[in-house]
Amino acid sequence: MENQEQGRRTFSKRLTPIEVEKRIILFFYTVVAEFFEFEEGRQFFMDVTDNLRNEWTFVGTFHANNIVENHVSINWAQFSLEKRLKTNDEVSFIEKPQDNGPWKKFKVIIKRKIKLFGQDIWGELMV
């Protein structure tokens, strides 16, 4: 799912059980096409800042596939362990202003659905 947030480009999705288990996140290339130029097998790096202003570097890889649409995998093993991510958590990457560095910069926001007085609400994880 792609949207605009405060004039910045974003991409987001809800985590699947496989993504949580393998500590990797998958996006169809069409979701991230305006952020990264596809080149099968090539790796790319993302500088990411979380809600606590901690800095992370995620490594992504482009995958071509005749059966499934071209896709991107982003390895974030340490991040997902420390944040204790769960199935159905929503992750959003918000593009940050770029300097002349070689890597894309993003803010990452993780939201989790909780029940409050019998109502489902989404709240940002502040961990």
Report how far residue 87's alpha carbon sits from residue 60's, in angstroms, rounded to the nearest whole number.
Answer: 20
The answer to whether 98 and 8 have CB atoms below 8 angstroms apart is no
User: 127 or 108: which carries more pLDDT confidence?
Assistant: 108
Question: Residue 110 corresponds to which tokens in the numbers above?
Answer: 């993780």
Report how far residue 29's alpha carbon sits from residue 23's, in angstroms, rounded to the nearest whole number.
Answer: 19
What digits encode the pLDDT tens for the residues 69-82? 899 999 999 999 99
What digits encode the pLDDT tens for the residues 40-93? 999 999 999 999 999 999 999 999 988 888 999 999 999 999 999 999 999 999
What percentage of the chain carries pLDDT values higher than 70? 91
Report how far residue 5's alpha carbon sits from residue 102's, in angstroms, rounded to the nearest whole number.
Answer: 24
Q: For residue 1, what pLDDT is reported? A: 42
Residue 6, phi-psi category: left (phi > 0), alpha (psi -120 to 50), beta (remainder): left
What secondary structure does DSSP assign to 29-80, as a single string?
A: HHHHTTTS---TT-EEEEEEE-TT--EEEEEEEEE--SSS--EEEEE-HHHH
Q: What band does 3 get if pLDDT is binned at 50, 70 and 90?
A: very low
Question: Residue 58 corresponds to which tokens in the numbers above?
Answer: 């995620």
The count of residues in the chain is: 127
